[in-house]
A and B are shown apart, each in its own frame.
Chain A
Amino acid sequence: MSLVLISHSRMLVDGLAEMVAQIAGDEVYVATAGGTEDGRLGTSAPRIEVALREALASGSDGTLVLLDLGSAALSLELALEALDPAERARVRVSEAPLVEGAVLATVQASVGASLDDVASAAAGAATLAKLPRD
């Protein structure tokens, strides 16, 4: 199990990768694609494709992709089209909020959960309570 984190901002995904490594440990491979090729805010299909290939090559049986807003999805679709079908079959795209989803997914991946279970943990991030219910 590996993760790919996609954002318009390189700093955002670098910081998130640091955070998940500290929370979940460094056993789970996390690839990032933040910003454009020339360092601006935005998303880049080629950079996402590189991150997907790194994650798939890390020896994992599958990879979960988490992304932020808007054009990230379009760039991801282009990057996925560049993969062959066997590679694409090992990629799952999550609808989860990026930060919470990444933390939950990495922790479950670190205990050896399957891609299905990791994807399901990330999906739960959308409804995760942050404040106590009074």
Chain B
Amino acid sequence: MTDVPEIRLVVIDPSGLHARPAARFVQAASRFDCRIAIRHDGREADAKSLIAILGLTLRPSSEISLVADGPDADAALAALRTELTPYVGSPS
């Protein structure tokens, strides 16, 4: 994916991105048609798959980026940023 919208975030929740917020995130991502991925530490997970996201084992201070590719990519990233609000901050 080149030249697609991307936002960079850092996990701030003391429990990391645990099962419940990850599940909410998958449900939110699945409402969009575009392809959405979470990247972390050289790995990439399908944002519409809980097992893929849990497999990233995101912890406090984990840096992630969300990338989306498709007609509704900008709307998807905005919605997912909102969905993650309590759990992430901006990278320093």
Scoring A residues 38 to 62 as 1 if CB is less than 8 Å from chain B, else 0, what string do you get?
0000000000000000000000000
Give A127's nearest chain B residue, CB to CB: B55
Report whether B50 and A129 are in contact in the complex, using a CB–CB cutoff of 8 Å.
no
Chain B interface residue count, CB cutoff 8 Å, equals: 14
Q: Given the complex of chains A and B, what is the CA–CA distance between A134 and B50 in angstroms?
A: 21
Q: Is B51 an interface position by the 8 A CB rule?
A: yes
Q: Which residues of A contact B27 (CB under 8 A)?
A: 24-25, 107, 110-111
Report whether A121 and B51 are in contact in the complex, using a CB–CB cutoff of 8 Å.
yes
Report whether A128 and B54 are in contact in the complex, using a CB–CB cutoff of 8 Å.
yes
Chain A interface residue count, CB cutoff 8 Å, equals: 20
Q: Which residues of B contact A129 (CB under 8 A)?
A: 54-55, 57
- Report how many A-B pairs have Cβ atoms within 8 Å: 43
Report whether B51 and A124 are in contact in the complex, using a CB–CB cutoff of 8 Å.
yes
Q: Which residues of A contact B54 (CB under 8 A)?
A: 104, 128-129
CB B55 to nearest CB in A, in angstroms, measures 5
Q: Is A103 an interface position by the 8 A CB rule?
A: yes
- At the interface with chain A, which of B1-9, B18-26, B70-78, B83-91? B18-26
Q: Given the complex of chains A and B, what is the CA–CA distance between A103 and B23 in angstroms?
A: 9
Q: Given the complex of chains A and B, what is the CA–CA distance between A124 and B11 in angstroms?
A: 24
Report whether A22 and B20 are in contact in the complex, using a CB–CB cutoff of 8 Å.
yes
Scoring B residues 1 to 42 as 1 if CB is less than 8 Å from chain A, else 0, what string do you get?
000000000000000000110010011001000000000000
Q: Given the complex of chains A and B, what is the CA–CA distance between A117 and B21 in angstroms?
A: 21
Interface residues of A (CB under 8 A from B): 22-25, 103-104, 107-108, 110-112, 121, 124-125, 128-133
A-B contact pairs, 27 of them (CB 8 A): A22-B20, A23-B19, A23-B20, A23-B23, A24-B23, A25-B27, A103-B23, A104-B54, A107-B23, A107-B26, A107-B27, A107-B50, A108-B26, A108-B50, A110-B23, A110-B27, A111-B30, A111-B48, A125-B51, A128-B51, A128-B54, A128-B55, A129-B57, A131-B57, A132-B57, A132-B59, A133-B57
